[in-house]
Structure 1
Amino acid sequence: MTVFIILFRGVGGATQLPTKPLREALGKAGFENVATYINSGNAVLKSRKARETVISTIAAICAREFGFEKAIHAVTQAEWDELIANNPFPKAVSTPKFLHAAVLADEPDKGRVEALRGFAASGEGIEVVGKVAYLHTPNGFGTSKLAEKFDKGIGVANTARNWNTVLKLAELAKTAAG
């Protein structure tokens, strides 16, 4: 059995995935130890299915039940633990809302990452480790030019979570593992 952290892209504002009905639908589909975290597109579950099957099953449920048809990323608990361990901004965890980890569908072009660094204000930073981009925006994510340009600038499908959410999802994954 593998514990997966499920990250739904683009939840918030007009796009909602109601957490209780989502948990119930995932449980009915045979996923175990299902948990959700805040109404912004996060779930944790346990399954014997391969990652691709987990994603396609969840995508079908979300389209049918909730009209949700955006990207879904599935990260194993081991990969999530590695994401935390590889954080290149260890001092930034003291203010976790200003540190974000973006799960990337593929490794981005190094030139794109360098171009994004050109938008970083003093003290800001972006580092990519494998298929994770870390953004440190100590003056605020919402006011950062780097953060504003990141989504299109990185050139690969992605979804980001602040460090508070990263740590909470790790805690939920540990509970799901049993």
Structure 2
Amino acid sequence: MARYAALLRGVNVTGDSRVAMADLRAWLADLGYTGVRTHLNSGNAVFTAPEGPTERIAAAIEGRLTARLGREVPVVVRTAAELTAVVAGNPLEIRDPARCAVAFLAEDPAPERLRALKPAEFAPEEVGLGEKVLYLYFPNGLGRSTLVPTLERRLGVPATVRNWNTVTRLLALTDA
């Protein structure tokens, strides 16, 4: 058994993207996951499940969400060990945790797409590369980011962004 974090993209952002966290906990429990906890009202959950590929777990959760909601919701899953590595591997200075974030990528982008991502093009935003993540700093706030709205199109892979406070809280919840 292992602890995992599931990050749902685009949940509870607008009126038509609503998912009650009590429902999410129930749906994850229906999949056989235990110790399910949610964080905030934005599609973050931690749970215990048999060890297996995170892509398989994400696909199971996506299937359950599609069946229950009638629409697709992309899900990125990370193990507790992977979250630990994300936090430890941040190359950017954490000046303000609310303005620092991690873009969790569903898979590694093609190398040519990654090379085409020029951090200077987004200044004063900062970008750091990690394993299936991008570390981000938004001095003007996430809402004014020029990178985030184009991230998936530029990289060609699904992504979901969480601020640093949420990332570290999810890590703590995987240890709980």
Give the TM-score band, short-chain normalised: 0.7 to 0.9
The answer to whether the aligner puts 1:8 opposite 2:8 as a matched pair is: yes
Give the counterpart letter for 1:74 in structure 2. Answer: V
In structure 1, the partner of 2:63 is 60
> In structure 2, which of residues 27, 30, 38 is the aligned counterpart of residue 28 of structure 1?
30
In structure 2, the partner of 1:121 is 123
> In structure 2, which of residues 22, 42, 45 is the aligned counterpart of residue 43 of structure 1?
45
Contact 1:117 1:146 in 2 (8 A): no
- Residues 139-168 of structure 1 show CA distances to partners (whole Å, capped at 9, x for unaligned) of 212112233433322332211101011011
Query: TM-score with structure 1 length normalisation?
Result: 0.86
Instruction: Tell which deviates more after alignment, 107-116 or 55-64.
Output: 107-116
Identity %: 33
1:69-148 map, 5 Å? 69-89=72-92, 91-92=93-94, 94-109=95-110, 112-113=113-114, 114-122=116-124, 124-148=125-149
In structure 2, the partner of 1:174 is 175
- Residues 102-153 of structure 1 show CA distances to partners (whole Å, capped at 9, x for unaligned) of 111233345544544243223x211111211011111212112233433322
Aligned-residue offset at 1:78: 0.1
> SS in structure 2 opposite 1:75?
strand
Aligned-residue offset at 1:66: 2.5
Aligned-residue offset at 1:22: 1.2
Unaligned runs of 5+ in 2: none
Distance in 1 (CA, whole Å) between partners of 2:113 and 2:79 is 27
Give the counterpart letter for 2:98 in structure 1. Answer: K
How many residues are treated as equivalent by the alignment? Answer: 172
> SS in structure 1 opposite 2:144?
coil
Cα–Cα, structure 1 residues 26 and 138, in superposed 2: closer, same or farther, change >3 Å?
same
> SS in structure 1 opposite 2:47?
strand
Instruction: Tell which deviates more after alignment, 142-151 or 8-17.
Output: 142-151
Aligned-residue offset at 1:4: 0.8
- Residues 66-89 of structure 1 show CA distances to partners (whole Å, capped at 9, x for unaligned) of 234121111000000000000011
Unaligned runs of 5+ in 1: none
In structure 1, the partner of 2:166 is 165
